[in-house]
Structure 1
Amino acid sequence: MIVLNNLTVRVLRSVGRTKPNQAEASAVVKNVKPERIKGVGFDATCSLACFDKSGQPLSVSPSGNNEQNIILWLDHRAVKEAEEINSLNHPVLKYVGGKISPEMETPKLVWLKRHLRRQCWEKAGLFLDLPDFLTWRATDNESRSSCSLVCKWTYEMTTDGTERWNESYFKQVGLEDLAEHNWRKIGSVVLPPGSPVGSGLSRRAAAELGLLEGTPVGTSMIDAHAGGLGLIGCSVEGVDPAFHTRLSLICGTSTCHMAVSKEATFTPGIWGPYKNAMVPGMWLNEGGQSATGKLIDHIVESHPATPGIRQKLGDMHIQQYLSNILHDLAKKQNLKSVAFLTSDLHVWPDFHGNRSPIADPSLKGIICGLTLADDEESLALLYLATVQALSYGTRHILESLRNSGYSEIKSTLICGGLSKNPIFTEAQADVCNLPVVCPDEVESVLLGAAILGACAAKHFDDIATAIQSMGGKGRVVRPNEEVVKFHDKKYAVFLKMYEHQLEYRSIMGS
């Protein structure tokens, strides 16, 4: 499994390269015989990669530079196109929470057709999500993952069993030409995650990676969904192991909130329900926050106290330094928890718009309670209020899921860098009043990719068995009942801040 994880890391570093770094890739299997590698799994961000008719990178930038052939997942260039698509109210939108996001692929494709028609659109041969690019690059097979297509491309898997590209939708949004050649440009063959891709590693890819030709390659997943796959099977005593009782948080630059159910659950403002997008045979609903780790970094880096702190950090992470300040402040004020330090400081965290459950990319961030202070303590308090605000965002998503039918969620599971941050995990537990499971496995996303590789190699009968066998152990952070009521009050303020933003817009627009 370790080799599979490392392999995934190395290949991801080569994303987009026509000729991956051979030395970097070969280093993966140093001191490991290639025949010991039984399967390969890939994950990547849901970014849009474009290639010409000969399979070479094709620019998606006004610069015309073909090395710039990827639109990053968080790119919001297609906000206008998303608004126009949503105004059409096509039935396909009910499978993305009622509104399509500019972070999804069809708005971006509409943008490319409008703005780079001659440079890009007319020359394009293939459009792929990065996870599908990796399997194509490794096997020369153009199949696509149902995870990518259902979640980001509006490929339909409906409650009545229909599986198709909805031609009326693509015609309505002006992309009807994609139907040519049985939809080849965006995917003619759709496979569930973990199923074998073609004949495995091609001769070229095997040589570049230092592996054996024909090594099985699993159908890929979006990185967050691979994280959900690696996370959802984590076993902790006293926490219900059933998949449908767990809300998985995959934390990074953004955060994705994954919940699965046996039946399709339609939740306004939350993406899905998606069939076979994470756990085969189950429906997935995906909430999320567009900026979480990135927001914390922004708050810290833009504060005037940060340069001075960095001069004396040594090997300590700045968030640990700020946490130490918070604990000292709480001790001086005889507070039972650092949480109580922010009773007069509140943050609305949508500095990059709201993905869920409001689904409004135009929302802005708000900070209420600032003073003239610009010292280390003021930064620590603002950092804490931001972390708490992200936790209120999780609660907002959780309440929306529960109101729509997810009545049995009993725990949250967290992976990513923020899972190592006690301030963050404690806030999530206290705000949502649920135990938080943090896996011992340090890379749940790569574990998910390893599960895909193991399934492609037929090491397990199915992904559900692989999840349970490879999920590992973890630790649990339980709610502090003395803090829960405090957060209930701050959450009420949190919701008021949204109402106020709408009121201000109404006043200014009148």
Structure 2
Amino acid sequence: MNYYIGVDVGTGSARAALFDENGKLLKIATNVIKTFNYLSDYYEQSSDDIWNSVKKVVKEVVGEISNEYIKGIGFDATCSLVLLDDAGKPVTASLTGDDERNIILWMDHRAEMEASIINQMNHEVLKFVGGKISLEMEIPKIMWLKKNLPDTFKRVKLYFDLPDFLTWKATGSESRSLCSLVCKWNYNANEFGINGWNEDYLTKIGLSCLKENNWKKIGNIVKAPGEPIENGLTALAAAEFGLKEGTPVGTSIIDAHAGGLGMIGISSKDNPKISKLFSSRLSLICGTSTCHMAVSSKPIFVNGIWGPYWGAMIPQYYLNEGGQSTTGKLIDHIINNHPATIEINKKINNTNIHIQEYLTNLLINYANDKNINDISYLTNDIHIWPDFHGNRSPLADPNLQGMICGLTLNNDEYNLAIIYLATLQSIIYGTKHIFNYLNNNGYDIKTILICGGLSKNFLFCKIHADAIGVPVLIPDNCESVLLGSAILGACASKKFDNIDNAIFNMSGNANVIEPDKKINQYHEKKYKVFLKMVQDQKEYKKIMNENI
């Protein structure tokens, strides 16, 4: 039996997993990574800390297995900006001057002004990011460095997206992934092979210096996800991992895109009639944030939705990417800041019950006591707009804020349960917002796929089906992101003829949640309130900005 390793560096941890050639998860290891958050909206990490964590988790999953049976390894990570000098050493991205803090995390919002400057230019490259660049992308952050940390800007000789940093450490290759460059760096790519950096764009925003040495700082060798990287693992990386020198390494991918890759080919055991056509599926990858992946054979432009990105997730397909910032973090925020949480945590201490499971059980029992047919009806009088950290899609407005309507003086555990439910619904209506934008602009999405932490929350998945009105598929393999990275390793090893075959052979099966049409009308009313809330927020801001 051949084995493949997937490595995932998320916001809070590095993980590795061992899969067999059929996509079966055999072993997983996790190690926490550090984040520095010394100022509001400033989030930094250390590439040394991350690489040390990666070494630890890979070595752990290799364990006692003979390395001759491990045929490939793939990497994914958050789309965070890594700064290195001419010796490959960290260069500070921090106002503290600490070189250890050489990564600007994806969720860092320091480059708001730079993103605004780019968006005011209305350059042609912006049509590939839904009309507006996000301050979470890499080019605005490099602009910020040039203005605010000029010594850093002079010292940096290599800029990497974090997934590409991992393959560089593993192989010594400075090649970049098409996934990272087209999605987060405004790199041009299309089905006709007209690929490259847009010199006019970079000159107009003051970054023409990046052209030096044939774009060496930001990448001049670009490979498709899963394409093998030169000679595979270096002797040093192989020794650090407990693997053989030369083990094939697949070109990397962004973490959310790895989840889409690992999930898009799943089969339905309960309803085999559900289409397996890639373009009919919307993949939700749920972690600290939620990313929405849709692919098509032809470019589809959607205002407020990133893309179309050629070959960013699956070769020969365009990708559109929607997203909701900090959804997982929002749920934690709502729960952790409610007065009832302390007592609930005391109750469930030393049990296997998660607080979200406890709240769900409360809702079920409360609805039964009141003879309410569906717990979603419990939020009739409470409504939430979930953009506590701005809106990524489809409104592309980082200045939007969260809203809650319907608060009372009640602060018991039932009150928390209902606010928690309303929070879930608001996140789901955000997905419905993105879903509708995609379908109104050329997609014909018929199914939602969900992976990540929230895929284990049945309530979250069930309301998606009910509110949007389409089946929801939950992979049997709950680690779709890691599987996506392992698929990259399998492709690099030449186990499969192409990435499509790797997807279908390794993705596995899924359970299906069918929509309940009886409650759809209720969700439509809630969704109408949801859309009205953001209009009200904009109206309030307009009033407050008026001259008196």
Same-fold status (TM-score > 0.5):
yes
Give distance in 2, aligned partners of 1:129 and 1:10: 23
Distance 1:195 1:11 in 2: 26
1:16 counterpart = 2:47 = yes
Query: Do the aligned partners of 2:3 and 2:71 also contact (CA within 8 Å) in 1?
Result: no
Shift of 1:10: 5.8
Q: Who is 1:483 aligned against?
A: 519
| Match among 267, 274, 284 for residue 302 of structure 2 | 267
Q: Give the alignment of 1:90-239 within 5 angstroms.
A: 90-118=123-151, 120-158=152-190, 161-236=193-268, 237-239=272-274
CA contact (8 A) 2:177 2:223 kept: yes
Look up the equivalent residue of 2:481 and give its one-letter code: V
Change (3 A) 1:499 1:190: same
Runs of at least 5 residues in structure 2 that lack an aligned partner in the other structure? 7-15, 19-27, 34-45
The Cα shift of 1:25 comes to 4.0
Is residue 282 of structure 1 aligned with residue 317 of structure 2?
A: yes
Partner residue, 1:300: 335
Q: Against the structure 1 CA distance between its residues 291 and 20, is the aligned structure 2 distance closer, same or farther, given a 3 Å change threshold?
A: closer
Give the partner amino acid of 1:16. Answer: S
Tell me if structure 2 keeps the 8 A contact 1:12–1:44: no
Q: Please tell me whether residue 323 in structure 1 is matched to residue 360 in structure 2.
A: yes
CA distance in 2 between counterparts of 1:28 and 1:424 reads 31
1:425 maps to 2:457: no
State the Cα distance separating 1:315 from its structure 2 match.
2.0
Contact 1:40 1:217 in 2 (8 A): yes
Distance 1:24 1:331, change over 3 A: closer
The alpha carbon displacement at 1:13 in A equals: 6.2
- Show the counterpart of 1:347: 384
Question: Which residue of the partner structure matches residue 468 of structure 1?
Answer: 504
Q: Does structure 1 retain, via aligned residues, the 8 Å contact 2:283–2:292?
A: yes
Distance 1:310 1:12 in 2: 25
- CA deviation profile, 1:125-184 (whole Å, cap 9, x unmatched): 111011000000000000000000000000011465420100000011111100100111
Alignment of 1:293-442 (within 5 A): 293-313=328-348, 314-406=351-443, 408-442=444-478
Among candidates 508, 527, 530, match of residue 494 of structure 1: 530
Confirm whether residue 86 of structure 1 aligns to residue 127 of structure 2: no
Tell me how far 1:31 sits from its aligned partner: 1.5
Q: Normalization by structure 1: what TM-score? A: 0.97
Q: Which residue of 2 aligns with 1:453?
A: 489
Shift in Å at residue 333 of structure 1? Answer: 1.3
Q: Partner of 1:4 in structure 2?
A: 5
**1: CA distance between counterparts of 2:192 and 2:32?**
40
Given that residues 254 and 288 in structure 1 are in contact (C-alpha distance below 8 angstroms), is that contact kept between their aligned partners in structure 2? yes
Pair 1:291–1:23, CA change in 2 (3 A): closer
> Structure 2: which amino acid aligns with 1:103?
E
Structure 1 stretches (4+) deviating beyond 2 angstroms? Answer: 5-15, 18-28, 158-161
Q: SS of 1:39's equivalent?
A: strand
Do the aligned partners of 1:11 and 1:25 also contact (CA within 8 Å) in 2?
A: no
CA contact (8 A) 2:83 2:160 kept: yes
Amino acid at match of 1:216: P
Which position in structure 1 is the counterpart of 2:539? 503
Q: What is the DSSP-based 3-state SS (H/G/I as helix, E as strand, rest coil) of the residue aligned with 1:492?
A: helix
Q: Is the 8 A contact 1:144 1:191 kept in 2?
A: yes
SS in 2 for 1:256: strand
Q: In structure 2, what is the equivalent of residue 35 of structure 1?
A: 68
Counterpart Cα distance in 1 of 2:85 and 2:306: 31
The aligned amino acid for 2:370 is Q
TM-score (norm 2): 0.91
CA distance in 1, matches of 2:76, 2:61: 17
SS at match of 1:199: coil
Q: CA deviation digits over 1:335-373, x for unaligned, max 9? A: 110000001100000000000000000000000000000
Aligned equivalents of 1:248, 1:452: Cα separation in 2? 18
Give the distance between the partners of 2:103 and 2:313, measured in 1 at CA: 24
In 1, the alpha carbon distance for the partners of 2:503 and 2:56 equals 32
Cα distance in 2, alignment partners of residues 13 and 370 from structure 1: 36
CA gap 1:2/1:442 in 2 versus in 1, 3 angstroms:
farther
The code of the aligned residue for 2:540 comes to Y
Question: Does the CA-based 8 Å contact 1:150-1:277 persist in structure 2?
Answer: yes
Distance 1:249 1:343, change over 3 A: same
C-alpha separation between the residues in 1 aligned to 2:136 and 2:294? 20
The percent of aligned pairs where both chains have the same amino acid is 55
Using the TM superposition, give the Cα deviation of residue 3 of structure 1 relative to its aligned residue in structure 2, in angstroms: 5.2
For 1:218 and 1:241, the matched residues in 2 are separated by 25
Match of 2:40 in 1: none
Mapping of residues 232-247 of structure 1, within 5 Å: 232-236=264-268, 237-247=272-282
Q: What is the SS of the residue equivalent to 2:73?
A: coil
Q: Note if contact 1:3-1:29 (Cα within 8 Å) is conserved in structure 2.
A: no
Contact 2:189-2:195 within 8 A present in 1 as well: yes
CA distance in 2, matches of 1:56, 1:189: 21
When the two chains are superposed, the root-mean-square deviation of aligned CA atoms in Å is 1.5
Question: Conserved in 1, the CA contact under 8 Å of 2:188 and 2:198?
Answer: yes
Looking at secondary structure, tell me which structure has more strand per residue. Answer: 2
The answer to whether the 8 A contact 1:272-1:286 is kept is yes
